[in-house]
Structure 1
Amino acid sequence: MVATPIKTEKRLTIETAEIAPDTSTIRSLDWDRDRFDIEFGLQNGTTYNSYLIRGEKTALVDTSHAKFRQLYLDTLTGLIDPKEIDYLIISHTEPDHSGLVKDILALAPQAIVVGAKVAIKFLEDLVHQPFERQLVKSGDSIDLGNGHIIDFVNAPNLHWPDTIFSYDRGTSTLYTCDAFGMHYCSSSIYDEDLSAIEKDYRFYYDCLMAPNARSVLGAMKRMDKLGEIATVANGHGPILRHNVQELLDRYQKWSKAQTKAEKNVAVFYISDYGYSDRLSQAVAKGITKTGVAVEMVDLRSAENQEVHELVSRASGIVLGMPPLSSSDHQDITANVGTVLAAVKEKQIIGMFESYGDDDEPIDPLLTKFSDVGLKKAFPPIRVKDTPDEATYQLCEESGTDLGQLLTRDKLVKQMKSLDSDLDKAIGRLSGGLYIITATKDSVSSAMLASWVSQASFEPPGFTIAVAKDRAIESLMQVGDSFVLNILEEGKYQSLMKHFLKRFKPGADRFAGVDTQTAENGSPILNDALAYIECEVVSRMECSDHWVVYSKVTAGRVSNPDGMTAVHHRKVGNHY
């Protein structure tokens, strides 16, 4: 039975349900959250899922976000006397799942905190008080009685370095925290409506899991040793029960595609320090958009040998600057030294400050990398204030620049392949000339487009093919708005020249351009022949492009006698 939701003015609610024998979920529903970590397209809120397993002993799997403190604690104490909790299983220590650990331990000081070695270390810094603990790894188990034997599976970097999965043999339920989740808030506890959730499921994967594709495959290989998985009790969004195998298979497919990339980049960050993990995730997302694989490593917990091996086979390095004052400073510094010792000529390097006045200075270390032959991939990112949407977009665009630098040789090779009859034939496909403009919160972007086609009459709609590595792609998620500016024959050259140039990460695309603001908030180019305001309805993946279908909400022609500019190409293997 589902309990009556407890409501607050901020649309934070709690619901509980029995999802398996002796197993309940406490779902904290955050209906209005419009941003989570680096994701700009969070249209449907999110949830924070926690679980109670009752055998002869009782285990609580994860807690909730601190914003739900009173709601969560009231709900938990209504379900169970905290003194009866024997184990508190921590899937990972990111605050949205472990934000109430200290509160739980105040109510249940007898509870044994169960987690990976790294998680327990992180919790010591979070809780600042003694607590009973049990370190677990793949192959370990805890018997709660009544058939509830909990097996543990290491799943590092999904998406924090300390993640573990927990599998209940008695109910065939796998507790996965961030993995196989999505930011989607609704009254549905389960995934019965696949069509409603699949775009959010994919977007969540692209933002948080794609940069850790190798780790995803490693964790899924270890999952194969478990029994049947009837339910995936994730940490965000609907619990997976109706489409378990389908959605697991999608992770496998997407991750395999990521790991087949010819180039890879090692991204080093420091979990739980400033905003290092979020900034690095944004950079990594930008890199993966170019088809380059990413391996993310926490400098705080990584072994020197692991760091050395990864750097030695990487095509590029991204390094978040470590703090000078830290209890782990010696280990972190040693790993930075290992990175410097393992790099080799012709690799490329990108660096960022992870927010804090005591960051290791960028310039001296960047000079050391330059001295051994590394090329700077993007200007160092220096963040001294709390990152906003523009900061994360800067990081994503910097990552994309790095990825494009690594794949430039492949593009040049394509461009030189002019003898193919097929390429010449495809090049004869012509299209109009358009400029897509979009603004969301404090972030604006634009791109020149010619792959545009009307796709429906009622409602009026059209499709645009957007390359995955375009900066504006992040602003064209389902539900986002933008403007299609139609260029005029004979009057488009200056606009085309402006928007064809390569912009530095974070640069203002509209500097020096005459614009006005559309009703949906995006720029209208005053020199365009016409403009159409649009809302993204759906997206379809086509290898290196997304085909974005949008409905028209408004539009206007500035010159009724004008003709649309037409674009002709010589070959079809590049723009």
Structure 2
Amino acid sequence: MVVLTDRAQRRLTIQTSEIAAETTTIRSLDWDRDRFDIEFGLKNGTTYNSFVIKGEKIALVDTSHEKFRQLYLETLTQVVDPAKIDYLVISHTEPDHSGLVRDVLALAPQATVVGSKVAIQFLEDLVHQPFKRQIVKNGDRLDLGNGHELEFVIAPNLHWPDTIFSYDTKTQILFTCDAFGMHFCDDRTFDEDLSEIEADFRFYYECLMAPNARSVLSALKRMGELPEVKQIATGHGPLLYYNVAEWVDRYRNWSQAKAKSEKTVAVFYVSDYGYSDRLSQALARGITKTGVAVEMMDLKSADPQEVQELVGRSAGLAIATPPVSGPAAATAQAALGTVLAAAKDKQAVGIFESYGGEDEPVDPLLTRFRESGLTVAFPAVRIKDTPNESVYQLCEEAGTDLGQWLTRDRAIQQMKSLNSDLDKALGRISGGLYIITAKKGNVGGAMLASWVAQASFTPLGFTIAVAKDRAIESLMQVGDRFVLNVLEEGNHLGLMKHFLKRFPPGADRFAGVKTQPAQNGSPILTEALAYLECEVSSRMECNDHWIVYSTVQEGRVSNPDALTAVHHRKVGNHY
């Protein structure tokens, strides 16, 4: 193993290690990265993984992020003479994996770039120079010699439309780029401790793969046609070796649960235009939190027949405004026209800006959908500056509003089933009244809670049941910090009514409420009876809720003689 460090930024390091016969990984460790795409924050940094396979011919699988340019290129030349690289396999073209393709080709102009048809098209816009190319389809093979033969698996939408997996028949390694990855930076090359990384693995799945659950299942089906997979070489985080079957089973189970939804929302975006892909991913995640399935489609590479079929089977549409000029404009505008023509009465629709060079205007587009009889499910998301954490949160909440609008009939039906003795008996379980408040970076959230119970003495800890479609759920991942505000009996109605309101996407939950900052940065409600500063230790999934176990660091009571406000329900099938 070799480790190099950037002297100017000591928290950028490079690690190389032999992971199988004639196979070396070059791992770019980004220790301090605290944000990636739509996730609200990274607690453990991330890595960008690249691989060199040395058969009779040499293949480089993916590159790295441009911030690692000097470190990566120096390391690559130590691992292999670039002049001897025969193939550069591009799993997908997002910049964190292909950011150094141009630099590598400058050192290895003889190399043939291997990728899906869509990936090669994207690279033409990225590299801006002629290069040798080889387009591969599902099942195609590339013989490197000495037993190394790559078999390609098409895996679109994981999480870009151009994604391919590569399987080395000699080492039985499957190179998957984003799929099965996680944002977890560690010196250990492999997944030695499942319990240490499983929360990051799940969080990554929920952010990037859950909105593409049906595409995940399609990819898993194609993976099932391969011989045994002994190792999954991911693009982010540790490589999977010790628990491969467990990780694959989890992807399958989670994706099957997501794909069972009776309703689907089609999310249309343009993958390499503005912030279209990242914003659409945030919105898609908000939709999936409500139990509604999502199918994402890139307007730049979409087949008209596939667009028409997807719109036809969807209950809702979410559209990132495409460009009106530039290389992608003609194809994207034609696909948008197909969406408009196929849209039908009673579908829900939401529009959000891409913040590209010249977006399709929002208002005329909304008007055209309204005239077709569609219902606007959330106010159009208009972006005036480079998207930040608050904008991504706004998009997620807009997606949740869309999903909740589509499932409103189910919710109403559940609330009306009041004749069940079981519902009435369950409703007799009383609970206190609390406000959960959290803040991470520029993003804040709050929630009225009553399903709270102490769970341990050592350490001091308690559990909270948080519905999956609550906005604050994204701020209560393992390692996140928040405040539990205890409401006072006889002095709770004002705060209770305020936080029971339905806030529009992106609204400030604390407007008009007196607060003060806790040591962990979250708001303390000044009128609360008591507060506890907490950190999430673990989460357990319970169908439509997460059970969040948290430990307590600080706390104070404002009036020792006062009592906690208590909530009594009549039924147990809704709050």
1:70-116 per-residue CA deviation (whole Å, 9 max, x = no partner) reads 00000000111100000000000000000000000000000000000
- Residue type of the alignment partner of 1:300: K
Q: Secondary structure in 2 aligned to 1:340?
A: helix
User: Which whole-Å CA distance do the structure 2 matches of 1:461 and 1:332 have between them?
Assistant: 52
Structure 1 distance, partners of 2:476, 2:4, is: 33
* Structure 1 stretches of 4+ moved >4 Å: none
- Residue by residue over 1:22-41, the C-alpha shift from the partner in whole angstroms, topping out at 9 and shown as x without a partner, is 10000000011110000014
State the partner residue of 2:175: 175
- In the TM superposition, what whole-angstrom CA distance separates every residue of 1:8-64 from its partner, at most 9, and x where no partner exists? 334000000110101000000001111000001411000000000010000000000
Kindly indicate whether residue 244 of structure 2 is the aligned counterpart of residue 237 of structure 1. Answer: no
Q: Which residue of 1 aligns with 2:5?
A: 6
What is the CA deviation profile of residues 334-367 of structure 1, one whole-angstrom value per residue up to 9, with x for unaligned ones? 1101100111111000001100341110111110
Partner of 1:426: 426
Point out the more displaced range, 520-529 or 91-100.
Answer: 520-529
Give the match's secondary structure for 2:225.
coil
1:83 and 2:77 aligned:
no
What is the CA-CA distance between 1:384 and the residue it aligns to? Answer: 2.8
Show the counterpart of 1:249. Answer: 249
* CA distance in structure 1 between the aligned counterparts of 2:235 and 2:93, rounded to whole angstroms: 12
Superposed CA deviations along residues 269-304 of structure 1, whole A, max 9, x for unmatched, are 000111000000000000000000000000000100
Match of 2:65 in 1: 65
Deviation at 1:241? 0.6
Partner of 2:40: 40
Q: Which moved more, 1:41-50 or 1:86-95?
A: 41-50
Answer whether contact 1:41 1:480 (CA < 8 A) is retained. no
Q: Which amino acid aligns with 1:478?
A: V
Q: Which amino acid aligns with 2:522?
A: S
Residue equivalent to 2:510: 510
Q: Which amino acid aligns with 1:6?
A: T
Q: Figure out how many residues of one structure are paired with residues of the other and give that number.
A: 574
Q: Is the 8 A contact 1:212 1:295 kept in 2?
A: yes
Q: CA deviation at 1:223?
A: 1.0
Aligned-pair CA distance for 1:394? 0.2
Matched residue, 1:542: 542
Amino acid paired to 1:139:
G
Following TM superposition, by how much is the alpha carbon of 1:427 offset from its aligned partner in structure 2, in angstroms?
A: 0.3
- Give, in whole Å, the separation in 1 of the partners of 2:273 and 2:474: 26
Q: Secondary structure at the match of 2:505?
A: coil
Cα distance between partner residues in 2 of 1:557 and 1:4: 51
Query: Map of 1:90-489 to 2, 5 A cutoff?
Result: 90-489=90-489
What is the identity, as a one-letter code, of the residue corresponding to 2:308? H
| Aligned residue type for 1:311 | V
The one-letter code of the counterpart of 2:569 is: R
Q: Percent identity?
A: 71
Q: Which residue of 2 aligns with 1:24?
A: 24
Displacement of 1:7 in angstroms is: 4.5
Residue 138 of structure 1: how far off its partner (Å): 0.3
User: Which residue number corresponds to residue 574 of structure 1?
Assistant: 574
d(CA) in 2 for partners of 1:191 and 1:222?
24
Gapped runs of 5+ residues in structure 2?
A: none
State the one-letter code of the partner of 2:534.
C
Structure 1 distance, partners of 2:119, 2:429, is 55
- Tell me the TM-score normalised to structure 2 length: 0.99
Contact 2:489/2:566, CA 8 A, preserved across alignment: yes
Q: For 1:309, what is the secondary structure of its paired residue?
A: helix
Higher deviation after alignment, 19-28 or 219-228: 219-228
Q: Provide the secondary structure at the position in 2 that maps to 1:199.
A: helix
- Alignment partner of 1:265: what SS? strand
CA contact (8 A) 2:13 2:28 kept: yes
Residue-by-residue CA offset, 1:504-526 (whole Å, 9 max, x unaligned) = 00001111111111111111111
Aligned-residue offset at 1:203: 0.5
The residue matched to 1:198 in structure 2 has which SS?
Answer: helix
For structure 1, list consecutive stretches of 5 or more residues without a partner in the other structure: none
| Alpha-carbon distance in structure 2 between the residues aligned to 1:535 and 1:365 | 44
3-state SS of the aligned residue for 1:336? helix
| Aligned-pair CA distance for 1:5 | 3.8
After the TM superposition, which of the residue ranges 6-15 and 305-314 deviates more from structure 2? 6-15
Q: Distance in 2 between matches of 1:232 and 1:536?
A: 29
Conserved 8 A contact 2:5-2:11: no
Distance 1:293 1:528 in 2: 39
Distance 2:277 2:6 in 1: 32
The alignment partner of 1:152 has SS state of strand
Distance 2:473 2:70 in 1: 39
SS of corresponding position for 1:534: strand
The one-character-per-residue Cα deviations of 1:251-283 (angstroms, maximum 9, x if unpaired) are: 000000000011110000000111000000000
Distance in structure 1 (CA, Å) of the matches to 2:81 and 2:366: 55
Separation (CA, whole Å) in 1 of partners of 2:499 and 2:309:
41
Paired with 1:371 and 1:439, the residues of 2 have a C-alpha distance of 40
Deviation sequence 1:397-456 (CA, Å, 0-9, x none): 000000000111000000100000111111000000000000110011100000000011
SS in 2 for 1:455: strand
Q: 1:46 and 1:503 mapped to 2: Cα distance?
A: 33
**Counterpart-to-counterpart distance in 2, 1:81 and 1:41:** 38
Describe the SS at the equivalent of 1:267.
Answer: strand
Task: Please provide the CA RMSD for this pair.
Answer: 0.7
Deviations 1:139-162 (A, max 9, x none): 111100001010001000000000
Counterpart secondary structure, 1:138: coil
Equivalences for residues 43-54 of structure 1 within 5 A: 43-54=43-54
SS in 2 for 1:123: helix
Q: Which amino acid aligns with 1:180?
A: F
Q: Is the 8 A contact 2:274 2:357 kept in 1?
A: no
- How far apart, in 2, do the equivalents of 1:356 and 1:272 lie? 10
CA distance, structure 1, for counterparts of residue 521 and residue 79 of structure 2 = 47
Normalized against structure 1, the TM-score is what?
0.99
SS in 2 for 1:350: strand
Contact 1:41 1:474 in 2 (8 A): no
For residues 477 and 125 of structure 1, the distance between their equivalents in structure 2, rounded to whole angstroms, comes to: 37
Inter-partner Cα distance in structure 1 for 2:424 and 2:90: 57
Q: Is the 8 A contact 2:4 2:71 kept in 1?
A: no
Contact 1:50 1:235 in 2 (8 A): yes
